[in-house]
Chain A
Amino acid sequence: MASLILIGSLFGSGGLPTLVCVFACVVVAPSQVLAQSAGREPAGAQRACTCSDGRRFAIGASMFGKNSARILITGFHSKPSPSAGDNDSPPCSDLLALGQIVQLMQAPDGRPFLKRDNFKRGTISRICDTQITFIEPKKSYDFFADDGSALILSDDAGPQAAASTPPVEDIEQPVDLTGQDLLQLLPEKNAIGELRDTPFNEQDLKNGAYIIIRKRSKARVAESDDDSAPNVSQNRPREVTVPAGMLGRIEKRASFQSEAFWTTEILPDSAPRPFWSSLLLVAKTLVKQQEIFGKVVLPSSHIVEINHFFDQYGTDWTYFGDSTGEAASEQSSGTTRLPEIYSPSPLPLEKNVAEARKRHATEGIEKAAVGLRLVLKDRELLAKRTMLVLDEAAASGAETAPNLFRRQCFIGFDRLKDSQWEKSTRPHTLRITDADVKIFQPKDNEQIPSDFYAIDLQFTLQPDFDAGSIPLVCRFPLASIELELVDSAAHILSSKFEIRPRDRSEP
């Protein structure tokens, strides 16, 4: 699941997704994204690694702790496995993880909002030697199926875990929030310390978790703990209408019927009023407003743990956080942050190489490339016997000059030896017999920064005719050393060659 914000909505009116502008084209459906080039996995897709005991760790999987804190997998290092097929998940080595916390904050006007912070980023080393497990995200929320007044969500994977199976009892002691003002429960210093002793599990809905109401519905006002004496006075209603978008915090599990029910403290005034409700304010003196306050009992299907909401909308705060601190700064920055997203700083060379070693990228590239066969589309290229330069950006493989800042491939046809190849009538096939990853650092070139480098994928091509081997170099300026470079090389070469997989009969 990934959020998507339309660029162009970043200036003008507001910008970041909120409950109000969700339907105003700021956030658009992922289906509007142009499909990635064929055969390539979109960035951030469900890439995963596995352990020999069957545990699987997918990027984006998370585990939940106290107060909606969570640990998320952001990447992994894997070990090369000779037995793994092309489509198998690689064996895990280390996990890259991000620890996030959610805090209840107050806007300048006193209204509450929730804010998520990235608190701890690091590595869980040798994950397969640990007893740690993660679950992959199963729920998919369709915030766009609007009924006109509410956020309607649907579970793609059927009833959520909490509903289909009895919830796992938290080991932590439930926090009794009865009678407390949640707005005063701002994070304490030791709250972070508590996370060290907090178990993390797959249950997102649990005691202390922050939630957002996803469906306008009538909810039963919570009764007291012992279920004997109602905790409501005679003049208070037994049922209240809770609008969509309200925030709350789970106090405890109330019951389990067809699905789990939760006693939830609703944060008053935590969502903007719907338009029609604002109009009714004019007649406030005539119509007695039904205030939402206190605790209500809500089914799992009517609430969403707040991290899912943040993930869906690609934001880290709820509505009233828009005018505060970091959020306001992000909004006012307009499009000035585009460069860092569009063209992030390239990895320093040492780090790039170290990361590649950790990921065993060279071995992966060699494994993916050796054996591939390049079938020439145009036999005349051989006759020219000059070095062929292909450019990723050049249209239909038009020949171009070597350029330091372009992704290009160089094929040494000028090194062809005299042979009988010209008499052959069948298509010429060149097989990759060797692959290496090299670092190109031009000397004495003042037109480029001193720390400029390029990654060279160097292949040896063996023709199916007797003409000696041909060198092929695909040069990627400032690229990360990763397996995807083989795809990029194939893409550049595809203008002049048909790329065929290795012959199965080959060793």
Chain B
Amino acid sequence: MILSIGFRPGLVSLMWSTLALGALSANKALALDTARCTCADGSSVETGGISYSLESDRKKITRLEGTGNALDSRCKGIWVHSTRIDTRGTPYRFFLQRKTLGERRLSGCEDLDEKFVKRSKIYNFVFDSDSTSIREMQPADPQKTPHLEADPKANSNQNMWNAIIVDDEPLISDEEDEKRSRAEFRHEEFKRTSWVFARRDIRARHLGIRRDPDQSRHIVPMKKSRVVEAGQLGQIEAARMDRAIVRFYDGSRIETFGRAKNVFRRWYDETGGPYREVKDDLYTPVRAYIVEVALDDIIEINDYFDQRKTDRTRQ
């Protein structure tokens, strides 16, 4: 928008400038719908951005109001749609139901207390782009190396305990820090407690925790395996880049994939036999088993609901 006062003499010039000023002020006052807008801190928000919390509760940006032009639109209003996943039935046989919590308008990025991201992690690979050889990187501060602290020749088995130079890091790491990092690096939709189901019949392995000679613990696959039927519901126990540990619940298969044929069994499961509540942040250990599966073999439950245009795993 160019103001041309003084450039063209007379009435035409004045009219042009008045129109231009009017348009500018209208642009500032009116927040227009946009697909993407920018926050004050420089980050951007897009429609379709998703934020997942525990147990597959989800918030989705459905609409954005921005000011300014299409290329540099400032966020003025953010419409967020929230849903929650509830379990219905007994621990022996249950189904999931998605409940809509409604849509609300946030007046700007300041009210966004979660990070909304797009799910796709696809990018354009270019050789030598955004990468640096570690040979070219500055070495760490040599002050931190413990080599200069004592004469190693004086160390023997007689004073071995003293020969250990304690690391800077505490033995017990900062749990909050760890939680933050783990949560950040995981796929958003596959957080611990997220509801998932097997997209096809999977042969999955049981797992064990092994403590190695260096006292570190690792999760290792066992020889014992079992088939997880397509449509079997489960919750994420832990996830990493390409695989996840899932607690699958027997007796809670999505109905469209199949149902228990044994009428008596179905009746028993519906009545919900006696079971003991345990302290657990996942649904229930009753008739559950824990196996490792590839992330490609499971689907987050909201994706199923979206695609099937339904809000229940059983009609």
**What is the interface of chain A, defined by CB distance below 8 A to chain B?**
1-8, 11-12, 28, 30, 32-34, 43-44, 46, 59-60, 63, 65, 69, 71-75, 94, 97-99, 118, 120-127, 129-133, 137, 171, 195-201, 311, 314, 332, 334-336, 338-346, 350, 353-354, 356-357, 362, 387, 389, 392-393, 401-407, 410, 412, 436-443, 445-449, 452, 456, 458, 471, 473, 477-478, 481
Contact = CB atoms under 8 A, between A and B. Distances in A.
A30 B221 CA distance: 11
Interface in B170-187: 171, 177-178, 181-182, 184-187
12 contacts: A2-B213, A5-B209, A7-B206, A72-B215, A127-B152, A130-B163, A334-B279, A335-B280, A339-B237, A387-B125, A437-B133, A441-B131
Nearest to A117: B171
A404 B185 CA distance: 11
B285 A12 contact: yes
Contacts of A118: 171, 215
Nearest to B285: A11
Contacts of A1: 213
A60 B280 contact: no
B167 A121 contact: yes
B180 to A, nearest CB: 8
A6 B208 contact: yes
Given A12-B278, A63-B157, A196-B159, A120 B208 contact: no
A438 B130 CA distance: 10
A125 B247 CA distance: 44
A482 to B, nearest CB: 13
Contacts of B134: 353, 356-357, 362, 437-439, 481
B224 interface: yes
B222 A32 contact: yes
B206 A6 contact: yes
Nearest to B191: A339
A499 B105 CA distance: 57
Most chain A beta-carbon contacts within 10 A, residue among B162, B211, B278: B211
- Interchain residue pairs A-B with the least CB separation, the first 4: A60-B213, A44-B212, A342-B238, A314-B211
Interface in B70-121: 117-118, 120-121
B140 A354 contact: yes
B261 interface: no
Contact of A33 (B171, B186, B222, B247): B222
Given A123-B167, A339-B192, 13 more contacts: A5-B209, A71-B161, A98-B214, A99-B161, A125-B150, A131-B156, A198-B161, A311-B213, A340-B182, A389-B125, A402-B124, A406-B241, A446-B117
Contacts of A6: 206-208, 222
B53 interface: no
Contact of B240 (A127, A171, A343, A436): A343
A439 B128 CA distance: 10
A344 B177 CA distance: 11
Contact of A130 (B156, B171, B211, B281): B156
A121 B224 CA distance: 36
A4 B218 CA distance: 9
B262 to A, nearest CB: 24
Contacts of A125: 146-147, 149-150, 152, 165
Given A99-B161, A438-B134, A445 B209 contact: no
A406 B279 CA distance: 35
A124 B162 CA distance: 9
Interface of B: 43-44, 117-118, 120-125, 127, 130-135, 137, 139-140, 146-147, 149-150, 152-167, 171, 177-178, 181-182, 184-187, 192, 205-224, 237-242, 245, 247, 278-282, 285, 288-290, 294-296
B157 to A, nearest CB: 5
A7 B171 contact: no
B163 A124 contact: yes
Given A389-B125, A401-B122, A439 B131 contact: yes
Contact of A63 (B153, B160, B214): B160
A443 B213 contact: no
Tell me which of B44, B118, B131, B282 has the highest count of chain A C-beta atoms within 10 A of its own C-beta: B131
B241 A407 contact: yes
B215 A402 contact: no
B72 to A, nearest CB: 15
A50 B186 CA distance: 39
Please indicate which of the listed interface residues A6, A73, A441 has the most CB atoms of chain B within 10 Å of its own CB.
Answer: A6
B141 to A, nearest CB: 9
Given A1-B213, A127-B152, A436-B135, A8 B290 contact: yes
Contacts, number: 295
Max count, chain B CB within 10 A of own CB: residue among A7, A438, A442: A7
B155 A132 contact: yes
A334 B124 CA distance: 41
A34 B205 contact: yes
A404 to B, nearest CB: 4
Nearest to B186: A343
Contacts of A137: 213
A130 to B, nearest CB: 4
B157 A132 contact: yes
A158 to B, nearest CB: 21
B164 A124 contact: yes
Contacts of B158: 171, 199
B122 A99 contact: no
Given A33-B221, A74-B215, A438 B131 contact: yes
A404 B222 contact: no
Nearest to B161: A195
Given A8-B206, A63-B157, A334-B279, A34 B130 contact: no
Contacts of B123: 402-404, 442, 445
Given A338-B245, A405-B241, A412-B127, A73 B214 contact: yes
B214 A74 contact: yes
Nearest to B124: A402
Contact of B280 (A11, A74, A201): A11
B220 A4 contact: yes
A74 B279 contact: no
A440 B221 CA distance: 31
B171 A121 contact: yes
Q: Considering residues B147, B165, B185, B296, which has the most beta carbons from chain A within 10 angstroms of its beta carbon?
A: B185
A282 B209 CA distance: 40
B241 to A, nearest CB: 5
Contacts of B207: 6-8
A338 B155 contact: no
A190 B165 CA distance: 20
Given A124-B163, A200-B161, A356-B134, A393 B294 contact: yes
Given A44-B216, A402-B124, A446 B43 contact: yes
A59 B214 contact: yes
Contact of A122 (B127, B167, B214): B167
B26 to A, nearest CB: 30
B169 to A, nearest CB: 8
Contacts of B131: 438-441, 456, 458
A104 B239 CA distance: 38
Contact of B160 (A5, A11, A59, A200): A200
